[in-house]
Structure formats: C-alpha cells, structure tokens
C-alpha cells in the first residue's frame, strides 16, 4: 500500500460515528486533512485531476451536515442524524477515492 492510500485508510478509520463536541472538532479536522490529500492527488496527473473533482463536492456536503448537527435549535435526535449523515458521506467518499486512486499510477 502506498503512503497516500495508507493515509486515506487512516482517515477512514478515524471517522467518528456519534455526535459530541469532541467528535465535531475531529470530523472537521478529518475533512481538512482529506481536502489536503485530494489536492495532492488531483495534482498527480490529468487522469486524477479529471476523476477527483466530484470528491470536492462531498466536502461541502459533510461540512453542511456537521454544521446542522451543531444547531442549538435541533433536537438531540436530529443532531445525531445530521452527524451520522456527515460521517457516512465522508466514509463513502474516502472509500470511493481509494478505489479511484488505486496505486497512484493511473493515466488516461
């Protein structure tokens, strides 16, 4: 496994499932790290530039759901549901990116 795939797998393994103040901070940190990896992968070659754009959209979806999970007006259940949505979206996105990235040697 190359270093980028290993780093993405580590991110995946660190994604929290339950809503809490600490987990909100953690998921924001993970999203930031994930974005950094996406930028690096996108710069590898034109193949990855073309095939990683969709993953940047997932970042906004995750951030929006996490933000909703911190709304003081939302019930505990809604906060948990929003956080679970963010967590699931991030997990799915990272899994898909690992498949697209492969060994990091794909080209058009």
- Rounded to whole angstroms, the Cα distance separating 17 from 84 reads 6
Looking at the chain, how many residues does it have?
Answer: 108
What predicted TM-score, i.e. pTM, was given to this entire model?
Answer: 0.94
Per-residue pLDDT of the chain (108 residues; tens, 9 = 90+): 899 999 999 999 999 999 999 999 999 999 999 999 999 999 999 999 999 999 999 999 999 999 999 999 999 999 999 999 999 999 999 999 999 999 899 988
- pLDDT of the residue at 90: 98
SS3 57: helix
């Amino acid at each position: 496994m190359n270093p980028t795939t290993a780093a993405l797998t580590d991110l995946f393994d660190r994604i929290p499932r339950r809503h809490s103040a600490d987990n909100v901070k953690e998921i924001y940190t993970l999203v930031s790290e994930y974005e950094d990896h996406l930028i690096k992968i996108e710069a590898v070659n034109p193949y990855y530039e073309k095939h990683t754009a969709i993953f940047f959209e997932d970042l906004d979806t995750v951030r929006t759901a996490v933000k909703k999970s911190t709304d003081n007006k939302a019930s505990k259940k809604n906060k948990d549901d929003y956080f679970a949505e963010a967590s699931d979206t991030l997990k799915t996105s990272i899994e898909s990116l690992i498949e697209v990235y492969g060994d990091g040697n794909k080209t058009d």
